[in-house]
Each structure stands twice: as structure tokens, then as C-alpha cells.
Amino acid sequence: MCLLLLALPFAAALVSAGHYKGIPCSVKESIQRPPRGWNRQGSAPLDHLLELRIALTQPHFPVLEKHLLEVSNPNHERYGAYLSKEETEELMAPHPETLDVVNEWLSSHGINNEHLYRSSAQDWVTIRVSVAVAEEMLDTKYHIYTHSDTGESTVRTTSYSLPESLHKHVELIQPTTMFTRPRPFRSTLHWSKTVSSDSMSPSNGTITGPAGNPVDVSCNATITIDCLKQIYNSVGYNTSATNGNQIAISSYLEEYANNQDLQQFFQLENLMAYGSNYTFVSINGGLNNQTSAAAGVEANLDTQFAYGLTYPTQATLYSTGGLPPYIPEAQFPMNGNEPYVDWLHHLLSQKHLPQTISTSYGDDEQTVPHSYAKRLCSGFAALGARGVSLLFGSGDGGVAGVMSSNNSATEQCFSNDSSNKAMFIPTFPAACPYVTSVGGTHHIHETAASFSGGGFSNYFPRPAYQNKAVTTYLKRLAGTYEGLYNPNGRAFPDVAAQAANFLIVYQGQQQYVFGTSCATPTFASFVSMLNDARISAGRPPLGFLNQWLYEKGYAALNDITAGNNPGCGTKGFNATIGWDPGTSNYYLRPSWRVVVPGHPR
Ligand SMILES: *[C@@H]1O[C@H](CO)[C@@H](O)[C@H](O)[C@H]1NC(C)=O
Ligand SMILES: *[C@@H]1O[C@H](CO)[C@@H](O)[C@H](O)[C@H]1NC(C)=O
Ligand SMILES: *[C@@H]1O[C@H](CO)[C@@H](O)[C@H](O)[C@H]1NC(C)=O
Ligand SMILES: *[C@@H]1O[C@H](CO)[C@@H](O)[C@H](O)[C@H]1NC(C)=O
Ligand SMILES: *[C@@H]1O[C@H](CO)[C@@H](O)[C@H](O)[C@H]1NC(C)=O
Ligand SMILES: *[C@@H]1O[C@H](CO)[C@@H](O)[C@H](O)[C@H]1NC(C)=O
Ligand SMILES: *[C@@H]1O[C@H](CO)[C@@H](O)[C@H](O)[C@H]1NC(C)=O
Ligand SMILES: CC(=O)N[C@H]1CO[C@H](CO)[C@@H](O)[C@@H]1O
């Protein structure tokens, strides 16, 4: 037990068998209350098993960050000189003293090397302990919390403590105060079973697309693979199956990509890809349930469009197991963590990585503990240093956050601190400065889709690469919404792409889907095509995109100048007039842009 010496000196001395028992502890992390919607029920069963993740301090992270900013800066001589797995791990590793101190603490609780799992860089330790042991180690009390909307239950606490000598060695321990469960960003589904034949027919003439080339009229109502190639001007560009370029999709939360649906989709939208396949990678027990009824809309959408657009590029699907929510009646270990950490551990332990990865999941930033969000963001930075382009959806609730199913509620637009202050809700991971965040547009001429998530982080300060674009936008905003957002925060999204009326195949039927879930694999696919061209030309891939995007890449993008993203009872942010050559000012929200990569050379 981690007792306060002052409170119980004799008892503490008597029970202290190990070095750390009975020495002064102090609170490591606490929250005032669980995020909105979570209500405390009874105590957690003492024999319930928890998989605790312990993040150790990374003293060399600033050096890693410096490397990242150099190798992904198009004006730097090291542009494209990405780090190897070993080099990256060296910069992620904790100090040897940290390993010693933490090992000693663990063994004082009877936890030795054979009971734990370490990440490849040794920066995370995972242990499996009962609630009783965790409560003793962390001087806390776990309870069962139930969510009022979903009925999901979870075992959590609002505060935990550590011996003071450990504080500087341990960054965070979860699950303790973390209530987040990332959700797929899909806003609406149209369940219409019949898709009218003329909506697919190119015979109805063409209109002029954003790049000045002809686009089928039908694309204004139904988005197919052909439409996206036309809109973003890549018709006739052939990717290579053999140059080593790869695209990957992340899948979580028991979302399964159905292979029969995929083949049916290929028959419908890219006949060349019919019969092709992808590599399935299971992380932390992620399953691949091919029962038609188990197909996931998100997983089907992501794989169908990303693989359909980039075929014959080698394709991968990561299925990361997140254990199901805690069920009070069941006595076996359940409900681990949000799954990004497992996914990161897997990727960072690989020698070779896909150059482009699309992830259409996320949660409201304030439901992810600050320390945890920071640490995950550092992991994304490490992937960037290795040359991976990470694309994340910006959310489907406009300025109100994730809101995967209901866009009208305003009651969630408050801070979860005691001030209960009205505010816009940023999303995570989209708001991490080391990922590229993708918002949504619709129609031709493209306008911002109203659901498109966008705003400013409350956790991450504005990165230097955004200074020029964002300060210009803020000036134009002239104080509107003051107090509802953090003007010094990382602004997102970085880019946007078509996000409505995507025609997918789901459980054998043609369906329309909407959301930044559509935009993310789309943008990722065009990044992958650019990487394909670069790799074929013997050049390194684009890696972490944002410095290049804000410095040079924007010139290939189409400004979106109409539309807004309402939420929280407001009209949200306006997309405004774009690049202004007369005054050299950006009048654009960095978001509402669309990629028009043209024919990569
Ligand atoms: C595309 O559809 C939108 C919404 O229905 C409409 O406002 C717009 O005029 C259409 N674009 C063209 C080029 O027909
Ligand atoms: C791309 O492939 C198609 C089909 O094999 C072929 O007709 C076309 O010429 C190729 N385009 C280029 C630019 O090589
Ligand atoms: C395609 O790949 C998936 C995942 O690896 C596998 O389950 C499936 O059997 C493959 N299908 C074919 C037709 O090879
Ligand atoms: C696969 O999904 C189906 C339908 O949801 C379910 O009945 C079945 O139990 C699942 N199989 C496995 C092995 O999880
Ligand atoms: C809001 O909740 C998150 C996650 O539980 C926590 O990390 C954060 O500190 C909370 N914010 C406040 C101001 O309590
Ligand atoms: C959306 O939220 C509002 C306000 O909470 C509620 O009245 C409405 O029924 C919800 N709609 C759906 C489809 O859940
Ligand atoms: C957005 O544009 C509308 C219409 O032009 C205007 O009324 C509104 O003030 C603008 N809002 C902001 C926040 O700039
Ligand atoms: C406006 C127009 O030309 N509509 C035609 C689109 O194509 C379908 C099928 O090819 C015709 O039935 C429509 O008349």
C-alpha cells in the first residue's frame, strides 16, 4: 500500500515489506469528475483483471522531434532522410535509471519480468493485475461507471497516486482516469437499397471539375472510384504493384471488412481490382469475422475506397482488438484500453512500414486525458520520423466534436472542468500536430460539408508550420467566437476531400455513406499515389505531410471558399476566399482545401 507516512507512520512501517511500501505518495493524475454521461455505480470487483499500461518518461523525445521536423521539411537538406527502427527506438527509450526504479517498484508488488510486456523501445510496460493489486499500487479505488446513453460500463477511477520518487520516471498509467472509447467517424447512413441507374451513368454529360478537367455529371450525386479520380485529376495514372509502395487502413472496435463485399465493390467500381486481395494484420487479437452480418460499414468503406483507388498498390488492413466493454456479470478480464497504443507498439516494432496509413476513428479531445493524448501524439511523431504519412478524420460534428450519430445536440459543448464553460469541442487524434487531419466537402463546386469537424486544440499549441495560415485566418475572424476556442491551439483539419454520397457495398447491398470517414481514405489514397510516383522515381516518400503542405503543397490544392461547419448552437467556422495573389495573404481556413495532385511525375 502506498500510504501517506504522516497519516499512518506505524502501520506503514509495520506493513512495509518492500522498498516502496509505506513511503510517501502523491497524486499523479486526477480528474474532477468523469466525462459527461459517465455515472459512478458500485465498487469494482476486487478480482477483476486490469491490463495496466505504464508509460515511462522519454528524455530524448525533443531530439526525436527535431529529427522529425528536419526530415519532413522540404527546405531542409535532410528532407526525406527518415530514421530507421533502431534510430527511432533509441530516441524513444527511457533512461536506464528509469527502468531500474520502475522495475524495483513493480517487484516490490510481486511483479517481475516474466509477468510483464515491454514495447519494442522499452518505453511502455504492460502488466496484468487484479483491481485489488492495482488499488494498492496506485493508492486508489476503482469503481464501475456506466454511460447514460450507451449503457456501456467500464472500470475506472478519478485519481491515482505514486510514490514521489517515481513521479519523474512515469508519465502516466492507464486505465485509470481514461474514459474514452474512440468511435468511427461516420455520420449518416442512407439505407436506400436501390441506387438509381442514371446516378451511375456517365452518359449524362460532364461538368468542369476543380482542376479544370471534365467530371461526370453523376459525380455530383454519387461518388465512385471513377468520380474521385476525375475530381482529383488522376485519371490514367497507373500505380505500381511492385515498387514497394503500400497503403494501410486501421480498423478498431470490431469493425470487419467483408471480402465478399469488397469483391462486389470492385466489380461495380474498379473491375481491374476484381480478384485482388490485401494483407490482413491482426494486432492484440483483432479478429477478421467474415460472416456477412459482421461486416462493418466503416471498415468496408475504408478498404473499398482506399484499395479501389490505389489498386494495384500493395494494401494492408490492421485489425486491432479492443476488448469489449466491461460487463458487470462477467468475471473474466475485459475492457482494456483504447487501442491506439497497441497499434503504435505493433507498427513501431516493424522494420518496414506502409508509407501511408488512413484512420477514420477518434474521440472528443477532452475525453482523452491530456497526458495520454500527448504521449500518443509523440508516438505518431515517431512514425512520422520513420517516413509514414498518417491521415486521421477530423470528426463529424462540426465544431461540436465527434458526434458520430447525432449532429443536433448542443449539450455536449461544455468543458468537463468545474467551470462548465461553453466551448467548441476539438477531436483527437485529429488535433495532434504530428498527424494530417482530413475534413469533408461535398458537391462540385466543392463546398465545406456541414458536419466536417474542425477547430482548435485545447491540448496542443499551434505548431510553427501553421503560424502564417492560422494567424491570417484568426485576424479575419476578428474576435468572433472569442472564448469558445483556443486561438493559440493547433488548428485542424489540415486538408479536406469529398465526404458525401459515397457508394459502397455493405452486406451485399449498394449503400450511400457520409462523413469524414469518406474523406480520410480518399485523401490518403491520393497521398499514396504521390508516394508511388516518388518511389518509382527513386525518391523517398512524403512522410509527415504538414510542413510540406503548409510550405509548398497547398499550391496543388484547391481552396474551398464556401460552406461552414455548424455546431454548439453556432454557425461554426466559415470557409473563406482562398489564396489571394494580390496581397499575398491566405484567407483560408487551412481546412477547406482539396487535393488536386494532378498527374504525379
Ligand atoms: C451539384 O449539386 C449541388 C447540390 O445539389 C448543386 O447546388 C450544384 O449546382 C450542382 N453542381 C452542378 C455543377 O450541377
Ligand atoms: C495505364 O494502364 C492502362 C491499362 O493497362 C493502359 O491502357 C494505360 O496506357 C496506362 N497508362 C499509362 C500512363 O501508362
Ligand atoms: C483475402 O485476404 C483475406 C485476409 O488476409 C483472407 O481472409 C481471404 O481469404 C483472402 N481472400 C482470397 C480470395 O484470397
Ligand atoms: C461473427 O459475427 C457473427 C455475426 O455478428 C457472430 O454471430 C459470430 O459469433 C461471430 N464469430 C466470431 C468467431 O466472433
Ligand atoms: C476532462 O477529462 C479528461 C479525461 O478524463 C481529463 O484528462 C481532463 O483533465 C479533464 N479536464 C478537466 C479540466 O477536468
Ligand atoms: C439527437 O439529439 C437531440 C438532442 O439531444 C435529440 O432530441 C434527438 O432525438 C437526437 N436524435 C437522434 C437521431 O438520436
Ligand atoms: C460567415 O459567413 C456568413 C455569411 O457570409 C456571415 O454572416 C458570418 O458572419 C460569417 N461568420 C464568421 C464567423 O465569419
Ligand atoms: C438529363 C439526362 O440526360 N438524363 C438521362 C441520364 O441517363 C439516363 C440513363 O442513361 C437517362 O434515362 C436519362 O434520361
Catalytic: which of 139, 171, 298, 363?
A: 298
CA atoms within 13 A on the CB side of 516: 42
Is residue 94 helix, strand or coil?
coil
Q: Are residues 367 and 496 in the same domain?
A: yes
Q: What is the pLDDT of residue 21?
A: 55
DSSP 226-245: HHHHHHTT-TT----SSSS-
Q: What is the pLDDT of residue 293?
A: 92
201 lines ligand 8 (CB under 6 A): yes
Q: What is the pLDDT of residue 523?
A: 94
Closest residue by CA, ligand 8 atom 11: 198
* Residue 87 in domain: no
Active site residue 298: yes
Q: Are residues 271 and 365 in the same domain?
A: yes
| DSSP structural state of residue 569 | T
Active site residue 198: no
| DSSP structural state of residue 480 | T
* Residue 70 in domain: no
* Residue 79 in domain: no
Helix and strand element counts for the chain (H, E):
14, 29
The H or E element spanning position 10 is helix 9-15
Instruction: Fill in the amino acid letter for 260.
Output: Q
Cell reading at 218:
453523376
Catalytic: which of 517, 525, 528, 591?
A: 517
DSSP 132-144: HHHHHHHT---EE
* Residue 66 in domain: no
Beta strand extents in 314-453 (DSSP E only) = 314-320, 356-359, 361-364, 389-393, 427-428, 436-442, 447-448
> Which positions ≥6 away from 188 have C-beta within 8 Å?
513, 514, 515
Q: Which of 148, 406, 411, 414 to mutate to test the pocket of ligand 6 (most atoms within 8 A of CB)?
A: 406
* Residue 129 in domain: yes
Q: Are residues 230 and 209 in the same domain?
A: yes
Catalytic: which of 171, 269, 302, 396?
A: 302
For the chain, first and last CA: distance in Å? Answer: 64
Residues contributing to the annotated binding site for Ca(2+): 559-560, 578, 580
Q: Are residues 427 and 534 in the same domain?
A: yes
Domain boundary among 115, 147, 174: 174
Q: Are residues 193 and 134 in the same domain?
A: no
Ligand 3 atom nearest residue 290's Cα: 7
Give the model confidence (pLDDT) of 540-573 as tens digits.
999 999 999 998 888 888 888 888 888 898 989 9
Q: What is the pLDDT of residue 218?
A: 92
Q: What is the pLDDT of residue 599?
A: 33
Q: How far apart are CA 525 and CA 395, in angstroms?
A: 19
Instruction: Fill in the amino acid letter for 421.
Output: K
Q: What is the pLDDT of residue 428?
A: 92
Active site residue 408: no
Nearest Cα to 90, choosing from 67, 72, 106, 114? 67
* Residue 27 in domain: yes
Domain boundary among 154, 174, 194: 174
Domain boundary among 174, 206, 225: 174
For residue 491, the cross-strand partners are 456
* Residue 64 in domain: no
Tell me the ligand closest to 370's alpha carbon. 5
Report how far ligand 8's centroid is from the alpha carbon of 234 (Å): 26
* Residue 86 in domain: no
198 lines ligand 8 (CB under 6 A): yes
Is residue 466 helix, strand or coil?
helix
Closest residue by CA, ligand 3 atom 1: 277
Q: How far apart are CA 405 and CA 151, in angstroms?
A: 16
Residue 288 sits in which domain range? 186-595
Ligand 5 atom nearest residue 32's Cα: 14
Q: Are residues 533 and 570 in the same domain?
A: yes
Residues contributing to the annotated binding site: 559-560, 578, 580
Cell reading at 45:
470487483
Cell reading at 334:
475485459
Q: Are residues 227 and 101 in the same domain?
A: no
Q: Are residues 193 and 327 in the same domain?
A: yes
Q: Which CATH number do you get for residue 347?
A: 3.40.50.200
Q: What is the 3-state secondary structure (H, E, C) of 163-225?
A: EHHHCCCEEEEECCCCCCCCEECCCCEECCCCCCHHHHCHHHCEEECCCCCEEEHHHHCCECH
Report how far ligand 7's centroid is from the alpha carbon of 478 (Å): 11
pTM of the model: 0.89
In 332-408, which residue ranges form alpha helices assigned H by DSSP?
A: 340-348, 370-385
Q: Are residues 129 and 262 in the same domain?
A: no
Q: How far apart are CA 587 and CA 281, in angstroms?
A: 43
Using 70 as the pLDDT threshold, list the residues of the chain that sit under it: 1-22, 181-203, 322-338, 403-411, 418, 577-601
Q: What is the pLDDT of residue 51?
A: 87
Closest residue by CA, ligand 4 atom 12: 289
Q: Are residues 409 and 502 in the same domain?
A: yes
Q: Are residues 124 and 195 in the same domain?
A: no
Q: Are residues 333 and 363 in the same domain?
A: yes
Are the C-beta atoms of 318 and 354 separated by less than 8 Å? no
Instruction: Count the domains in the chain.
Output: 2
Tell me the ligand closest to 199's alpha carbon. 8
